[in-house]
Chain A
């Protein structure tokens, strides 16, 4: 049980860590100042949530690893994030499409976790849900604004959706870890979140004048750690460079 819970908490924490780092890459170079600030703030929320999830993961594991140790001293094969969040930023449109696709799932997931039988999990979810509500609201507005915008912005948003949609399925496919969490009433069944997500997606995409790809093919292997895309390793060389160059450095 504690092993499955550790895995599960790493999934939650690695999602927020990897996406938080990804969007922090926009800091100082986003298209306009307000978007730069918004992305940096979202990154901050996600990194804050990471500290809570990975902090709890370390406690559950009980091997003396804290959130920093888990974040900076693991390599690709030990990461348990969804493939979606490790995808490169691309242009601003693709970054916001990735954010929207993730936030929609993230909010539903956190709402489910608020009713967790594990009090600490429920408390982190209760805290995070307030922040993620803002993330989804903003990502939705941006996807609609750019999708139903100029010819150029529409074209880019459709391309972003076509590219990222194959990474959506992984969020809703359960494996042994999920099943153990569901049977212990710790977490919602991933598949149970899909109908609500699809309805939300269809409504937003219709308003954004974007077409959801017909093919439901899903890349997977991120949350199990079996097969990450090549991009995660490159990201970690940046994110972890200091701890790799100067192990256990503090200041």
Chain B
């Protein structure tokens, strides 16, 4: 039971601890999909934008947000879906990008392909397929260490 409304800053810090269900190494705020947090009277309104329109993680993400905020004592909560402006990988934070790389997923780049292999850092890489294990990733391969790896597509 919360007797006083927590500050928006506090709410953001709670949300930054909620991991992405598909790529748990980054948080929902790293991913840039939480667009706004507001108090509407005594109701907390969280605005979320989907990454890909068919991403099955979307409903899990909403559930995770709700679970996390309820655990902090928030009772009145609404989740608002926002389509426009459409999510872009430009909204991934630098911390998020660094965590992806460390995890073995090459972060998105405007140039359209990975900078280097996330394992051996070789720049000799080739695309296997534009689609990968989740809607947001493509499959690439390193021609030096021969390991395949995921590349977070730039959209």
Binding site for B on A (CB under 8 A): 34-35, 37-38, 41-49, 51-52, 119, 122-124, 126-128, 130-131, 134, 137-138
List 24 contacting pairs A-B, 8 Å CB cutoff, sorted by A. Answer: A34-B131, A37-B129, A37-B131, A38-B131, A41-B131, A42-B131, A44-B55, A45-B54, A48-B50, A48-B52, A48-B53, A51-B53, A122-B84, A124-B83, A126-B86, A127-B83, A127-B86, A128-B53, A130-B86, A131-B52, A134-B131, A134-B153, A134-B155, A138-B130
B145, CB-defined interface residue at 8 Å: no
B113, CB-defined interface residue at 8 Å: no
Q: In the complex the two chains form, is A34's CB within 8 Å of B54's CB?
A: no
Q: In the complex the two chains form, is A137's CB within 8 Å of B130's CB?
A: yes
> How far is B86's CA from A43's CA once the two chains are assembled, in angstroms?
20
Number of contacting residues on B, CB 8 A?
A: 22
Q: In the complex the two chains form, is A130's CB within 8 Å of B84's CB?
A: no
B19, CB-defined interface residue at 8 Å: no
Q: In the complex the two chains form, is B83's CB within 8 Å of A48's CB?
A: no
Closest to B154 in A: A130
Tell me if A's interface is mostly helix, strand, loop or mixed: helix
> How far is B54's CA from A43's CA once the two chains are assembled, in angstroms?
9
> How far is B54's CA from A126's CA once the two chains are assembled, in angstroms?
14
Q: A44-B55, A48-B54, A49-B53 are in contact. Are A127 and B135 (CB under 8 A)?
A: no
Give min CB distance, A121 to chain B, whole Å: 11
> How far is B83's CA from A57's CA once the two chains are assembled, in angstroms?
16
Beyond A44-B55, A127-B50, A131-B155, 16 additional pairs, beta carbon < 8 A: A38-B130, A41-B132, A42-B131, A45-B54, A48-B52, A48-B55, A49-B53, A119-B84, A122-B84, A123-B86, A124-B83, A126-B84, A126-B85, A130-B86, A131-B52, A131-B135
Tell me the residues in window 118-139 of chain B with beta carbons closer than 8 Å to chain A beta carbons: 128-133, 135, 139
Give min CB distance, B151 to chain A, whole Å: 13
> How far is B53's CA from A49's CA once the two chains are assembled, in angstroms?
6
Closest to A48 in B: B54
Give min CB distance, A37 to chain B, whole Å: 5
Q: In the complex the two chains form, is A47's CB within 8 Å of B130's CB?
A: no
Q: In the complex the two chains form, is A131's CB within 8 Å of B53's CB?
A: yes
Q: In the complex the two chains form, is B139's CB within 8 Å of A34's CB?
A: yes
Contact of B130 among A43, A119, A134 (CB under 8 A): A134
